[in-house]
A and B are shown apart, each in its own frame.
Chain A
Amino acid sequence: MKKQKGLGRGRASTWQLLLIAAPGLIYLIINNYIPMFGVFLAFKDYNYFQGIFGSRWCGFENFEFLFRTRDAWLITRNTLLYNAVFIILGTMFSIFLAILLHELGTRKRVKFFQASLLLPNLLSWVVIGFIVYAFLNADTGFMNNTVAKALGKEPTNWYTTTGPWPFILTLVYLWKYAGCNSIIYVSTIAGIDKSIFEAADLDGAGKWQQIIHITIPMLRPTVVVLTLMAIGRIFYSDFGLFYQVPQNAGRLFDVTQTIDTYVYRGLMELNDVGMAAAAALYQSVVGFLLVVGANALVRKLDPDNALF
């Protein structure tokens, strides 16, 4: 009874709000819901002229290639581990930057640093790939020609040595994204009630204590929401990072191959729409389950911060 009343009242008073939301909702329906018919493709042996619905059903045949080989374990491990590292280090690094930016004080300085931290985010992966290449190139790269020489070390053939790549990729990821992600934290910090800091100041808490006991706890809801969203995409990898930055070097596949690059490389020759759709569906379903699971965990530990 109560619910009905709530709904009725909602309709009466919120149609203006709905109107405002309409462009966004329509966009969401056209862009995210209508294409969902594409999931049929994952179970179809697709033929252009029979169309999506006319093509033959083929069960789970299209999914087979994701699980059949020993690569399956490798690509799953790489995708999950890299994303876990990115979520943890990325969040820590962004918060760190946000706090530093906040403590800078004057507007001008904040704006300057914020702009320069944002810059890498505007570069495409292809460009970043070549910046990295300028560092690591075997013959003329900065690392081999300048750094290794200065340290008196033997030059390394970077694109055939797997060891350093997990670190290189993480570093490049942080360089590109941390600045951009810190903006959300900066705005959250700016929204914290100033009087709390003043009270702490009066009580004799230093900057460090204020950061530990006020800023970081106040950021927790934001961190939880962003992390939950990131977990939803944990089965997707940043294609540009894993394809462009290692210059598609075969020797590095053991540490750079992720689900997306595997699907891309495998289907380059086959052009099979059904198999590509199967891979995407698999990623979405696992991502969805993980979000629901993580959210349930959060709800148990910290009910106020759960997403739904």
Chain B
Amino acid sequence: MKKMLSLILALLMVFSLLGTVHAENYDQVVFSYATFNNIPTAEDLAVVEEAINVITREKIHAEIKLKPIVIWDYSSQISLMLQGGDQIDVFESLGDFNVCVTTGMARDLTDMLATDAKEACELVGDDWLAACSQKGRIYGIPTLKPIALTPMVIYRQDIVDELGLDMSQVNSPFDLTEIFRKVKAGRPDITPLSAVNTGNIGLGLTVPHVDYLSDDYYSPKGVLMNGEMTVVDFYASEEFRKACELARTWYNEDLVMKDAATTSSTAAELRNSGKYFASIASYSYPEADTAASLELQSNGIKLGAKIIGSAFLDTTSVNALSWMISSTSKVPEAALKFLNLTYCDPDIINLVIYGIEGRDYVKNDDGTVRYPDGFDAASVPYTAQLSCGTFGNFFLMYPMEGTSIESLAWEQEQNKNAETSAAMGFTFDNKRVKTQYTAVSNVIEQYLAGLICGAVDPETEIPIFLQRLSDAGLGDIIAAKQAQLNEWLAAQGK
């Protein structure tokens, strides 16, 4: 019995030695990303991994394991796996940068960036990196992609042609009223404006120059407006009142769908029903590209797009999608080096997005790519194409067939030229005002949808709304934001 035991122990030792020898050769990095596409089978995935490893073994002395997770499960899965001790080295902060940092999931990268991710840092620039910091320490690298979201109205080209409307004169939501009236008169069977999602007809985001200071776009609390450094109540502003009044006008004249505040249909469903003329939302592509990409899923309805506002960048627009190294990673240097490659190595990033050339995609002569004949996104062995906007460097990816290459230049311009908040880089820590946050969130849920969709009269409802907000403690939130902002400004030496 004893002999047997020692034999087993000896064998175990040999195996574990073998294991370490193997690991000593190359650092093993687990790269986990969210995908909108199907999860590939282990065999199909292994082929892509091997192709990546051929590059990484040489360049950064590491082997990569890909771990795609369905987008809807991503955040909870990552948090559970990290708690459970599973190896995840590189992951993305999907939406909630602050939570990843305050709960201790993300590693402090400040001192590693210069040596292990030099190229990525140069590409994204100091301003964007600063947006991924908390209390002066950097925790992530933002995805380099078109992040400037420009408000646009998406409309049915066939109706514009039929009624002879001139969309080029539309430059703000206020110009839409006339167009909508003409649509209503010319095509009484159609409602001019549909909702984008529940309780949102798109007007909220057309209010220009708002820094949401780490809040959800659909539930702003204290914000910065018009370049001032004083935190204000968004709902008490002139701009908000005007947007509500506009919505009310549309509602009273039947220019907007009546149950916009409660509908659970999505913009695409409503558009495809053929009963609506337009919708308002923000997109990161040029007008023509936006319309073209929406047309792909619009049942053959011809669409047009017109910009009706300007893009504005604040901290959240940059750090909503940033890449992090887990605090539990045993190979943080290798992980960061690999992350760096997704920003500066076109071969790596295209392997992750499109898989193997010839098997998963083919190249066209003009530099764009498409799926092999007889295959589509759902049937190729590997693709993560729908997640293209979430990985390292968007501008190094092969464009899909149908998108124009010039658009990339426009998008890069927008990123550079879009107006940027003076508080870019500031993140708000809501720890001290959590109680007020829950109460205020509830009040906003109760009133905002009705107001911004025109279902209630702003003249009587806004004062009640403001009163309820202040009862719920919005003042405390604004004061806390101002205090943290002042501290941040002082630290910046501004």
- Please state if A159 and B446 are interface contacts (CB–CB under 8 Å): no
CA A247 – CA B449 in complex, angstroms?
Answer: 12
Q: Which residue of B lies closest to A46 (CB)?
A: B103
Binds A, one of B202-210, B234-242, B255-263, B373-381: B255-263
Interface residues in B391-442 (C-beta closer than 8 Å to A): 430, 434-435, 437-439, 441-442
Q: Does A160 contact B (CB under 8 A)?
A: yes
Identify which of A250, A251, A270 gathers the most chain B CB atoms within 10 Å of its CB.
A250
> How far is the CB of B339 from the nearest CB of chain A, in Å?
21
**CB-defined contacts of B446 to chain A, threshold 8 Å:** 250-251, 253
> How far is the CB of A33 from the nearest CB of chain B, in Å?
22
- Please state if B438 and A266 are interface contacts (CB–CB under 8 Å): yes
- Please state if A69 and B103 are interface contacts (CB–CB under 8 Å): no
- Please state if B439 and A159 are interface contacts (CB–CB under 8 Å): no
- Please state if B259 and A137 are interface contacts (CB–CB under 8 Å): yes
> How far is the CB of B163 from the nearest CB of chain A, in Å?
23
**CB-defined contacts of B327 to chain A, threshold 8 Å:** 49
Q: Which residue of B lies closest to A247 (CB)?
A: B262
- Please state if A269 and B219 are interface contacts (CB–CB under 8 Å): yes
> How far is the CB of A35 from the nearest CB of chain B, in Å?
15
Known A-B contacts A139-B259, A248-B262; A269 and B437 likewise in contact (beta carbons under 8 Å): yes
- Please state if B442 and A71 are interface contacts (CB–CB under 8 Å): yes
Q: Which residue of A lies closest to B99 (CB)?
A: A271
- Please state if B441 and A47 are interface contacts (CB–CB under 8 Å): no
CA A247 – CA B199 in complex, angstroms?
Answer: 11
Interface residues in B449-480 (C-beta closer than 8 Å to A): 449-450, 455-456, 471-473
**CB-defined contacts of A157 to chain B, threshold 8 Å:** 258, 455
CA A157 – CA B198 in complex, angstroms?
Answer: 17
> How far is the CB of A261 from the nearest CB of chain B, in Å?
9
**CB-defined contacts of A112 to chain B, threshold 8 Å:** none
Across the interface, B264 reaches (CB within 8 A) one of A48, A65, A247, A265, namely A247
Q: Which residue of A lies closest to B471 (CB)?
A: A70
Interface string of A207-224 (1 = CB under 8 A from B): 000000000000000000
> How far is the CB of B77 from the nearest CB of chain A, in Å?
13
CA A65 – CA B104 in complex, angstroms?
Answer: 24
- Please state if B82 and A271 are interface contacts (CB–CB under 8 Å): no
**CB-defined contacts of A257 to chain B, threshold 8 Å:** 442
Q: Does A64 contact B (CB under 8 A)?
A: yes
The chain A residues found within 8 Å of chain B, CB to CB, are: 46-51, 64-65, 68-71, 137-139, 157, 159-160, 247-251, 253, 257, 262-263, 265-272, 275
- Please state if B104 and A49 are interface contacts (CB–CB under 8 Å): yes
- Please state if A68 and B439 are interface contacts (CB–CB under 8 Å): yes
Known A-B contacts A48-B79, A65-B434, A159-B262; A71 and B447 likewise in contact (beta carbons under 8 Å): no
CA A261 – CA B139 in complex, angstroms?
Answer: 34
**CB-defined contacts of A70 to chain B, threshold 8 Å:** 471
Q: Does B96 contact A (CB under 8 A)?
A: yes
CA A271 – CA B434 in complex, angstroms?
Answer: 10
**CB-defined contacts of B472 to chain A, threshold 8 Å:** 69, 71
Interface string of B146-171 (1 = CB under 8 A from A): 00000000000000000000000000
Q: Does B20 contact A (CB under 8 A)?
A: no
Interface string of B101-121 (1 = CB under 8 A from A): 011110000000000000000
- Please state if A266 and B104 are interface contacts (CB–CB under 8 Å): no
- Please state if B435 and A47 are interface contacts (CB–CB under 8 Å): no
- Please state if A269 and B216 are interface contacts (CB–CB under 8 Å): yes
Interface residues in B261-313 (C-beta closer than 8 Å to A): 261-262, 264
**CB-defined contacts of A138 to chain B, threshold 8 Å:** 258-259
Contacts A250-B446, A250-B448, A251-B446 known; list 13 others, CB within 8 Å.
A49-B83, A65-B439, A68-B435, A69-B439, A69-B471, A70-B471, A247-B262, A249-B262, A265-B445, A266-B441, A269-B216, A270-B430, A270-B438
> How far is the CB of A145 from the nearest CB of chain B, in Å?
13
CA A265 – CA B215 in complex, angstroms?
Answer: 15
**CB-defined contacts of B258 to chain A, threshold 8 Å:** 138-139, 157
**CB-defined contacts of A46 to chain B, threshold 8 Å:** 103
Interface string of B311-339 (1 = CB under 8 A from A): 00000000000000001100000000000
CA A75 – CA B298 in complex, angstroms?
Answer: 43
Identify which of A69, A257, A262, A271 gathers the most chain B CB atoms within 10 Å of its CB.
A69
Interface string of B210-224 (1 = CB under 8 A from A): 000001100100000
> How far is the CB of B83 from the nearest CB of chain A, in Å?
6
CA A220 – CA B219 in complex, angstroms?
Answer: 51
Across the interface, B450 reaches (CB within 8 A) one of A51, A65, A250, namely A250
Identify which of B79, B327, B441, B447 gathers the most chain A CB atoms within 10 Å of its CB.
B441
21 A-B residue pairs with CB within 8 Å: A48-B105, A49-B327, A50-B104, A64-B435, A65-B435, A65-B439, A69-B472, A138-B258, A138-B259, A157-B455, A159-B262, A248-B445, A249-B261, A250-B449, A251-B446, A251-B456, A253-B445, A262-B438, A262-B442, A266-B438, A267-B438
**CB-defined contacts of A270 to chain B, threshold 8 Å:** 430, 434, 437-438, 441
> How far is the CB of A297 from the nearest CB of chain B, in Å?
35
CA A49 – CA B79 in complex, angstroms?
Answer: 10
CA A262 – CA B435 in complex, angstroms?
Answer: 12
- Please state if A250 and B103 are interface contacts (CB–CB under 8 Å): no
Known A-B contacts A65-B435, A266-B438, A267-B438; A160 and B79 likewise in contact (beta carbons under 8 Å): no
Known A-B contacts A65-B434, A250-B199; A266 and B261 likewise in contact (beta carbons under 8 Å): no
Q: Which residue of B lies closest to A274 (CB)?
A: B434
- Please state if B473 and A69 are interface contacts (CB–CB under 8 Å): yes
Known A-B contacts A65-B435, A68-B435, A69-B473; A48 and B103 likewise in contact (beta carbons under 8 Å): yes
Q: Which residue of A lies closest to B327 (CB)?
A: A49
**CB-defined contacts of B439 to chain A, threshold 8 Å:** 65, 68-69, 71, 266
> How far is the CB of B493 from the nearest CB of chain A, in Å?
32
> How far is the CB of B45 from the nearest CB of chain A, in Å?
28
**CB-defined contacts of B449 to chain A, threshold 8 Å:** 250
- Please state if B456 and A68 are interface contacts (CB–CB under 8 Å): no
- Please state if A49 and B103 are interface contacts (CB–CB under 8 Å): yes
**CB-defined contacts of B83 to chain A, threshold 8 Å:** 48-49, 51
**CB-defined contacts of B435 to chain A, threshold 8 Å:** 64-65, 68
**CB-defined contacts of B199 to chain A, threshold 8 Å:** 250
CA A272 – CA B441 in complex, angstroms?
Answer: 14
**CB-defined contacts of B82 to chain A, threshold 8 Å:** 48-49
